[in-house]
Amino acid sequence: MGWILFGSFFLFLLIGVPVGLAVGLAALIVFILNGIPLQMVPQTFFEGSSSYALVAVPFFILAGDILARGGISERILAIAEATIGRIRGGLAVVATMASMFIAAISGSGAATTAAVGASLLPEMNKKKYDTDFSAALIASSGSIGVVIPPSVPMVLYAVIAGEGVAKLFMGGFIPGTIMGAGLITYAVWYSSKHGYPASEKLPAREVGRRFVASLWGLMTPVIILGGIFSGYFTPSEAAAIAVDYTLIVACLIYRSLNFKKFYELVVGAGVTSALIMFIIGTAKIFGWGLAFYQIPEAVAKSMISIAGNDYFWIYLMIIIIVLIAGCFMETASALIILTPIFLPLIEAIGGNLIHFGVIMVIGLAIGMTTPPMSINIFVASAISGRSMEQISKAIWPMVIILVAVLFICTYFPWFVLVLPRVFMGVQ
């Protein structure tokens, strides 16, 4: 009977029903066909969306929006261009690092692509950078932000898997850094090959002025992550503090955020958060249907019967599924649906759930960048004026680099687990 659950879900998707609603309707059909009391639907929905850890989600989204649209990101871009931009291909490096920085706070690759693209693409065009390359680089860099802490998808995984948010944040730090380093290396090589120039050297006084102006913004991740990892506050408290801090910086120090714009940001963050919470609630109902039909156990038995207990082949199959899902589904939706299916399998082969969570997030992040349905490419296309097909051709080398990092982190868990083991006692 499990085919009813998945068949109805994919049917709803094919006719254009939003993912959150499709998940809930598919599960509702299971409840009705099996005579399960419908009062369990709201009860299960509430259980899925009432975790304390989820308090962090709207705050991180709002903090990221304030960072991106409150004048903070522009000052960070200015100091990055004044320092890193002086090397050959420096603007490409600036685009990569700025995208990673902003996306790490906001958790939104699309919003980051829009913010950085609007600021840097005109300047990169002036320097004769290939527009397709520039747009592809910004789109791919923005996806890395969901891997580098703080990360909204990691908060969602932590709630589903019952793991610590701080442990996942720490586990994503090295993989996200390696992904960024890979893109930066490619950007420098590509820029040198095509003779892209360095930015003009600015006077020391101007560099100093830009540094002082950007310092408040640069302190944002230091305060958030420093507070979490030192134990001064929880991830949920850190998210609220991030909003307070970025709001003070944008309103009182930079004076670049007025009440009207702040209201728009709050409404936008509220709508996004509501959508995520709705998906989480309906996914909990969907998960109940999975458990009712014992689908996770069946998937585990099937994959083990194919690959045995071979770590290599089981993780290879999971990676392929996650990458494909990431191409067609939004990260949060795919994470919420796939995690309950794969968790019994990972536990059966003795896998580490922190490692698996980071791998899941990396795979889905790469899917955000991969054609044909990449939202990041869509945004980059709208900003740059280039077609999605043109940007897709330029982005494939970057996707290959990110996939290579995914395989490294999958089959060498040390890169994910070393920091959680050293600082948080993860086994």
Residue 257 sits in which domain range?
Answer: 39-424
Phi/psi at 47 (nearest 5 deg)?
Answer: -60, -40
Closest CA to 352 of 171, 222, 227, 169: 171
Closest CA to 410 of 236, 214, 178: 178
Dihedral sign, CA of 170, 175, 176, 180?
A: positive
Query: Does a structural domain hold residue 29?
Result: no
DSSP 261-301: HHHHHHHHHHHHHHHHHHHHHHHHHHHHHHHHTTHHHHHHH
Tell me the two tokens of residue 61.
Answer: 């989204």
Please state, in angstroms and rounded to a whole number, the distance separating the CA atoms of residues 233 and 94. 31
Tens of pLDDT, residue by residue over 6-33, are: 788 888 878 888 877 888 888 888 888 8
- Residue 414: per-residue pLDDT: 94
Residue 149 clears pLDDT 90, i.e. is over it: no
Query: Does a structural domain hold residue 346?
Result: yes
Residue 399 belongs to what H/E stretch? helix 388-411
Please state, in angstroms and rounded to a whole number, the distance separating the CA atoms of residues 277 and 104. 20
Query: Does a structural domain hold residue 264?
Result: yes
Look at the chain and report how many structural domains it folds into: 1
Query: Does a structural domain hold residue 385?
Result: yes
Closest CA to 68 of 27, 25, 101: 101
Tens of pLDDT, residue by residue over 320-339, are: 989 888 877 777 778 888 88
Nearby residues of 238 by Cβ (< 8 Å), 6 or more positions away = 56, 150, 224, 225, 227, 228
- Residue 186: per-residue pLDDT: 92
Please state, in angstroms and rounded to a whole number, the distance separating the CA atoms of residues 99 and 93. 10
The pTM (predicted TM-score) of the whole model is 0.85
Tens of pLDDT, residue by residue over 83-105, are: 776 777 778 888 888 777 777 66
DSSP 158-219: HHHHT--HHHHHHHHHHHHHHHHHHHHHHHHHHHHHHTPPPPPPPPHHHHHHHHHHHHHHHH
Alpha-carbon distance values, 43 to 49, 120, 220, 276 (Å): 10, 48, 38, 18
Q: When comparing pLDDT for 417 and 81, which is higher?
A: 417
Q: Which of 211-225, 297-311, 355-369 has the highest mean pLDDT?
A: 355-369
CA angle 232, 234, 238 (to 5 degrees): 85
Query: Does a structural domain hold residue 16?
Result: no
- Residue 402: per-residue pLDDT: 95
Query: Does a structural domain hold residue 7?
Result: no
Query: Does a structural domain hold residue 287?
Result: yes
Query: Does a structural domain hold residue 54?
Result: yes
Q: Which of 51-55, 251-255, 395-399 has the highest mean pLDDT?
A: 395-399
The percentage of residues in the chain with a pLDDT greater than 90, rounded to a whole number, is 14
Residue 152 belongs to what H/E stretch? helix 152-161
- Residue 122: per-residue pLDDT: 82
pLDDT level of residue 359 (50, 70, 90 thresholds): very high
Residue reference for tokens 């009705």 = 32
Tell me the two tokens of residue 257.
Answer: 């955020």
Residue 411 clears pLDDT 90, i.e. is over it: yes
pLDDT level of residue 418 (50, 70, 90 thresholds): very high
- Residue 407: per-residue pLDDT: 96
- Residue 141: per-residue pLDDT: 85
Phi/psi at 46 (nearest 5 deg)?
Answer: -65, -40
What does pLDDT average to over the chain? 83
